[in-house]
Structure 1
Amino acid sequence: MTPEVDVQTLRLLLAVAEHGSIGAAARELELSQPAASARLREFEARWRIAVLDRSPGGSRLTEDGEAVVSWARTLLHELDTVRSSLLALGEERRSGVAVAASLTVADLILPRWLAELRARRPHLSPRLHVVNSDTVAAMVRADEVDLGFVETTDVPGDLARQVVGHDSLAVVVAPAHPWARRRTPLTREELQAGSYVLREPGSGTRSTFEAALRKQPHVVLEASSTSALLGAAAAGVGPAVVSRRAVAAEVEQGRLVVVPTALDLQRPLTAVWRRHRRLSDAASDLVLIATEASRTGA
Structure 2
Amino acid sequence: MSGDIELDTLRLLIALVDAGSITAAARTRGISQPAASARIREFEARWQLSVVRRSPRGATLTTDGQAVVAWAREVLDSVDTMRAAMGALSQSRSANLHVAASLTLAEHLVPRWLGELHASRPACRPVLQVVNSESVAEAVRSGAVELGFVESRSLPAGLASRTVGRDRLVVVVARSHPWARRKAPLEVAELTAARWVLREAGSGTRGTFEAALGHEPRVALEATSTTALLGAVMAGVGPAVVSELSIRGELETGRLVAVPHPLDLRRPLRGVWRADQRLSAPARDLLAIALR
**TM-score bucket of the superposed structures, by smaller chain:** 0.7 to 0.9
Q: Compute the displacement of 1:12 (Å).
A: 3.9
Q: How far apart, in 2, do the equivalents of 1:145 and 1:257 lie?
A: 37
Structure 1 counterpart of 2:111: 111
Q: Deviation at 1:14?
A: 11
Sequence identity, in percent?
51
**C-alpha separation between the residues in 2 aligned to 1:256 and 1:182?**
13
Kept in 2: contact 1:234–1:255 (CA 8 A): yes
Residue aligning to 2:212: 212
TM-score using structure 2 length: 0.74
Q: CA deviation at 1:26?
A: 3.0
User: Match for residue 124 of structure 2?
Assistant: 124
SS at 2:22's partner residue? helix
* Superposed CA offset, 1:126-145 (max 9, x none): 11110111111111111111
| Residue 188 of structure 1: how far off its partner (Å) | 2.0
* DSSP 3-state at the match of 2:245: helix
TM-score (norm 1): 0.73
In structure 2, stretches of 5+ residues that fail to align are: 1-10, 30-35, 42-49, 61-79
Amino acid at match of 1:219: V
Provide the residue aligned with 1:282 in structure 2.
282
Confirm or deny: 8 A CA contact 2:173 2:179 kept in the other structure: yes
- 1:134-187 Cα offsets, whole Å, 9 max, x none, are 111111111111011110112213211111111111111111111111112212
Q: Which residues of 2 match residues 164-175 of structure 1 at below 5 A?
A: 164-175=164-175
Q: 3-state DSSP class of the match of 1:284?
A: helix
Matched with 1:141 is: 141
2:246 alignment partner in structure 1 = 246
CA distance in structure 2 between the aligned counterparts of 1:15 and 1:189, rounded to whole angstroms: 89
1:223 alignment partner in structure 2: 223
Could you give the per-residue CA deviations for residues 268-298 of structure 1, whole angstroms, max 9, x where no partner exists? Answer: 0111111221111111111111110xxxxxx
Gaps of 5+ in 1: 1-7, 38-54, 60-79, 293-298
Matches within 5 A, 1:14-93: 16=19, 21-27=20-26, 28-29=28-29, 32=40, 56=57, 90-93=89-92
Find the aligned partners of 1:256 and 1:170 in 2 and give their Cα distance.
11
CA contact (8 A) 1:97 1:127 kept: yes
Which residue is 2:176 aligned to?
A: 176
* Root-mean-square deviation (Å): 3.0
Task: String of CA shifts for 1:220-246, please: whole Å, max 9, x gaps.
Answer: 000101000000001111111111111
**Compared CA separation, residues 12 and 194, structure 1 to 2 (3 A):** same
Give 2:92's aligned amino acid: R
